[in-house]
Amino acid sequence: MPKPTTLVALSALLVDLAGGAPSEIKLIPAGSFRSARDARPVDVPAWVMDDAVAASVLSAHAALKGKFLLDYDHQTLRAEKNGQPAPAAGWGGRLEWRSGDGLYAVDMDWTPAALSAIAAKEYRYISPVFLYDKQSGAVTSVKMAALTNYPALDDLTDLAAAAALIYSTPQDDTMDKELLAALCAVLGLASTATVADITPALDLVKTQLTAPDGTVTALSAALAAKDQELVALSAQVAAAPDMSQFMPVAVVLSLQSQLAALSATSAEVDRDKLIADNIRKLPTPELQNWAAGQTLAVLSAYLEKAPEIVPRGMQTGGIAPVIDTGGAHLTADELAVCNAMGVDPDEFKLTKGAN
């Protein structure tokens, strides 16, 4: 994890250019140092630049492709705020550490305007912008420098903030993007949402979760309810089950099988009885076999509309004709009439004989 660092624009090193435009300039002194103009640093006893620190700074700088920038009065850091141009005063070819002396920018390439200003003594001092470790005070990198004449004491805080915006590390930038993406996902916003979009959404969530007095009562109540549900469920799981309320699976399966068999037998008995009661509607073996293979519902629906069929030669309804052994007898048609009218055949014979 990277160490916490802070940017500082140190306008108080007071490196006098002595009226000339040197090919090398001293940026950071060796050893422990503090600002000569104000109380900085306030979070560590002093800034530190030694052999080990310098090796790390030079290694980080060597990985950069661009040249070391010098501008005027740190205008590069102020440009976004004041809208003014930020011309370069010069470019350093490389950084060089001189043990016991300090860190230098060498092979300086000054612009004509800077050469003229330095020769005219319009600018006299160098002000570096560097990062340092907030725990040890060790310089971690030197970002740029500026020609200046007097420390901008009233603007030091803004200057450092501007430098922080320009020189934020890739890790910080990635962290910011990841944080914004996570917030967008939680709030249901598009991944392209900006800070301006996220802020009102966060305010709405805060309003929904908090009570008028500012306490997070809604969230607390919801969490408390969930806790109670978890306690109740845990108690149910932990409690021994009442076996009197349960039945073995084998017994249940056996009962289901027996019930299915009884249901099938009952249906078969009911179907056989229905066929026997409606035999005249099922007069042939083919119809009876068909009926035996139907469900009660299908068979009942069929029999409800099927006509009764009386076989030929059975007008007596299956009752053999009564034969009069005394010589007088009834014909089959006469017996059918007796059956239809509910008349006793013997009485009919007497009536017939009287006629």
Reported residue count of the chain is 355
Q: Specify the pLDDT at position 169.
A: 45
User: Which residues 6+ apart lie within 8 Å of 295 measured at CB?
Assistant: 267, 271
In this model, does residue 251 exceed pLDDT 80? no
Task: Write the pLDDT tens digit of every residue in 154-176.
Answer: 333 334 444 444 554 444 445 46
Buried b (16+ CB within 10 A) or exposed e, 138-172: bbbbbbbbbbbeebbeebbeebbebbeeebeeeee
Q: Which residues, listed in sequence order, are joined to residue 142 by a DSSP beta bridge?
A: 130
What's the chain's average pLDDT?
Answer: 75
Question: What's the pLDDT score for residue 291?
Answer: 84
State how far the Cα of 73 lies from the Cα of 146, in Å rounded to an integer.
6
Distance CA 324, CA 306 (A): 38
User: Rounded to whole angstroms, how far apart are CA atoms 77 and 158?
Assistant: 9
| Per-residue model confidence (pLDDT) at position 56 | 93
CB atoms within 10 A of CB 96: 16
Tell me: pLDDT of 252 over 60: yes
Amino acid 19: pLDDT: 57
Q: Long-range CB contacts (< 8 A, 24+ apart) of 93-97?
A: 93/67, 93/68, 94/61, 94/68, 95/27, 95/57, 95/58, 95/61, 95/68, 95/142, 96/24, 97/51, 97/54, 97/55, 97/57, 97/58
Instruction: With a cut of 80, say whether residue 26 has pLDDT above it.
Output: yes
What average pLDDT does this structure show over 96-116? 92
- Which segment, 112-116, 242-246, 269-273, 341-345, is predicted with the most confidence on average? 112-116
